[in-house]
């Protein structure tokens, strides 16, 4: 039986991604992604058998922290502590 690679048209993002996919996941160019990683605003990838892989959950958490107070809640929601 020959090895079969899954198609790229998955309905969900993979848990681990190489730099180009991680950049695309965050909708930025690979150069911008690497610059933000170098600035330590996004996590560094993990080396697995010579491949550098980014964990989607770590990217999600880092992206959430980048948003800071710049959210889309209206003033009343902020005053009442209502999360969107």
- Predicted confidence at residue 11, as pLDDT, reads 73
Please give the Cα distance from 31 to 17 (Å, whole number).
16
**Which residues have a Cβ under 8 Å from the Cβ of 1 and sit 6 or more positions away?**
none
User: Would you state the pLDDT for residue 71?
Assistant: 58
Give me the tens of pLDDT residue by residue for the chain, a chain 84 residues long. Answer: 455 555 566 677 789 999 999 999 999 999 999 999 999 999 999 999 999 999 999 999 999 888 765 556 666 666 676 665
């Amino acid at each position: 039986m020959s090895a079969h690679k899954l198609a790229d048209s998955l309905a969900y993002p993979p848990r681990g991604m190489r730099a180009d996919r991680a950049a695309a996941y965050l909708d930025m160019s690979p150069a911008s992604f690497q610059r933000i990683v170098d600035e330590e605003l996004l996590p560094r990838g993990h080396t697995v058998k010579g491949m550098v892989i980014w964990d989607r959950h770590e990217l999600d958490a880092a992206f959430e922290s980048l948003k800071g107070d710049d959210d889309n809640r209206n003033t009343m929601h902020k005053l009442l502590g209502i999360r969107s």
